[in-house]
Amino acid sequence: MRFVKFVSPRVLQGVLAALVVAGCLAMTANAQTEVYNNGTGTNNGYFYSLYTSSGSATMTLTDDYGGGNYSISWSGVGDMVGGKGWNPGGSMSVGYNVGAANGYNNISVYGWTTNPLVEYYICEFGSLYTADATYKGSVNSDGHTYDTYEHEQVNQPSIEGTATFEQYLDNWGGSSIGSNHTVTTGNHFNNWESLGMPMGSFNYMILGTEAYNGASGYVNATVW
């Protein structure tokens, strides 16, 4: 994640909806939905989002494993983030299994709140870029210790258009491929509140895979 060039998807849902109408979705015969580069919507009871600033990415949504499964392949992306989850998000126990992944920068529980406008990450694989962020402390949750950071984004894209907003970053990244794991999101939200990092009304929340700086790779993951 790059703070200066970070583009959030993640972004203008009206634009993404227009891309959907323009034909970025194609239904296949075997109950799979493919999303090319940009799109948001619902699939088998889950919210999904895919954003690609440059390069190419294809997300495949299936009804496997209770409907929470998705895969993404990407090539030469400037910044790409995509995944499945909920809209709205909130305090819940997020279960996930990442069956395969390579070429990513982080895989995180990722979401937004409004009033105040906040973009947040709970990093499960890889690492968040925190060099320009302020260290706030740490939180223990689900058997792991996450380092907590805050960073201000100034005049950057958001779900409300170009805006200035805070990023809340819980950085761990030590999860394992092929096993079931849990993120108790309320532990993170409560910790942020206790550190003077207020949460607002929840918008979407996904298990998001992010890659940037020309990366190419693949992920297959399931949430529940």
Catalytic residue set: 119, 210
CA–CA separation, 105 and 216 (whole Å):
11
Rg of the chain over all Cα atoms, to the nearest angstrom:
16
Region of 53 (left: φ > 0; alpha: ψ -120 to 50; beta: rest) is: alpha
In the chain, % helix, strand, coil (3-state, to 5) comes to 10, 60, 30
Q: Which tokens belong to 42?
A: 């619902």
